Structure 1
Amino acid sequence: MEYSKKMLIVIAPENFRDEELFEPLGILEENRIEYEIISTDKGRFRGMLGGYATATETISGILQLLEGGKGMKHYGGLMIVGGSGSKDYLWGNEELYTIVRYFDKAKMPIGAICLSPVVLARAGVIAGRHATVWPDKEAVREMEKHKAIYENKPFVSDGRFITANGPTAATEFGKRIAEAFLGEVIYTD
């Protein structure tokens, strides 16, 4: 079956966590899922371990597309990559919260890994849902403050929402987000 919709992937413009981007990307590519990487700016950005990724559009640009009523038909899911840059560039990004809410309203799969589940919590889409996050005290407090049900596990799926706690869960996170995007189980233990 052909899938014309893309996974929208958000990274911080610096210090995204390499494994949390590249391992899921490998799984998306293996399953022929197209994707588009965005950030606060366009350009080539460096991860915490020295890998590079190119953001072809900005968060602001995607939000304008969505608000213009033309964007949602292009996407089938949202994935937010973690790393220390998430706290600096994504945690407080109101435009990103709005994008998250668009995907939630459209009932599409939404995934976040490492420190980035805080974005989902602050956007208000995982209140009352089970989720995980990097086990940093501030991150856990943010999850609980926004009524997410925090679980200290490598990854947690709750309906359309997939969260993972860091780089060691990146492969499993990629598998689960791909399955949610495709709407079928493709990986078995």
Structure 2
Amino acid sequence: MLEDAGAKVVVASTSVRPCHGMKGGLAQPDISIADAKADDYAALVICGGSSVPEFFWNDKKLQEIVTAIHAAGKIVAAICLSTVVIAKAKLLTDREATVYYLPEAIHQLKEGGARYVKDTLIIHNNIILAEGPPDSERFGQAIRAALAS
């Protein structure tokens, strides 16, 4: 969806080894998170999935990139369990936020200072959050619209 709108998508992960999705999909990272620089990107979109708590929630470098991209006025977006990363970067303090409905995810969101609400899509200026997979289409549309403005 973003590429169809003309965006150049760069996939980053904890390593450049192929990433296997929950439903069998495969993604080849272009760069490791450790090597990524916030200045190189117009936006940051963090995908969700069952491995997000293990690999992304406590990734300090990812939190630094989130903070830097937001500080530069760029778009920061997260869906599903990855919204916790934005909370851990302290960008959701005293703001409504959503996350895939798992007790630990809700707890982590609140620990990051957010006010959990069960909503499918939340937009705070340049921060875009979506609850889970059924919201992917609206999430992508919101990101595309934000990039176009």
* TM bracket (short chain): over 0.9
Partners in 2 of 1:126 and 1:104 — Cα distance?
11
TM normalised by structure 1 equals: 0.76
Q: What does residue 25 of structure 2 align with? A: 51
Work out the number of aligned pairs and report it: 149
Distance in 2, Cα, partners of 1:39 & 1:148: 25
Measured in 1, the distance between the counterparts of 2:148 and 2:91 equals 21
Q: Distance in 1 between matches of 2:110 and 2:43?
A: 25
Match of 2:104 among 138, 143, 155: 138
**Greater alpha carbon shift after TM alignment, 150-159 vs 47-56:** 150-159
CA distance in 2, matches of 1:104, 1:78: 9
Counterparts of 1:131 and 1:109 in 2: how far apart (Å)?
16
Residue 147 of structure 1: aligned partner: 113
Give the partner amino acid of 2:106: V
Higher relative contact order (CA 8 A, sep 6+): 1
TM-score w.r.t. the length of structure 2 is: 0.95
2:28 and 2:121 mapped to 1: Cα distance? Answer: 26
Q: Is the 8 A contact 1:37 1:54 kept in 2?
A: yes
Q: Distance in 2 between matches of 1:124 and 1:100?
A: 10
- Kindly report which structure 2 residues correspond to 1:79-118, keeping only aligned pairs within 5 A, or say none: 79-118=45-84
Give 1:43 shift. Answer: 2.5
- 2:6 counterpart SS class: coil
Q: Find the residue that maps to 1:43 and give its secondary structure.
A: coil
CA RMSD of aligned residues (A): 1.1
Q: Which runs of 5+ in 2 are unaligned?
A: none
Structure 1 stretches of 4+ moved >6 Å: none
**Distance in 2 between residues matched to 1:97 and 1:174, nearest whole Å:** 21
CA distances 1:127-163 after superposition (whole Å, capped 9, x unpaired): 1222210011111111112211221011111111111
Q: 1:40 maps to which residue? A: 14
Correspondence 1:1-189 to 2 at 5 A: 27-62=1-36, 66=37, 72=39, 74-183=40-149
**Aligned-pair identity (%):** 31
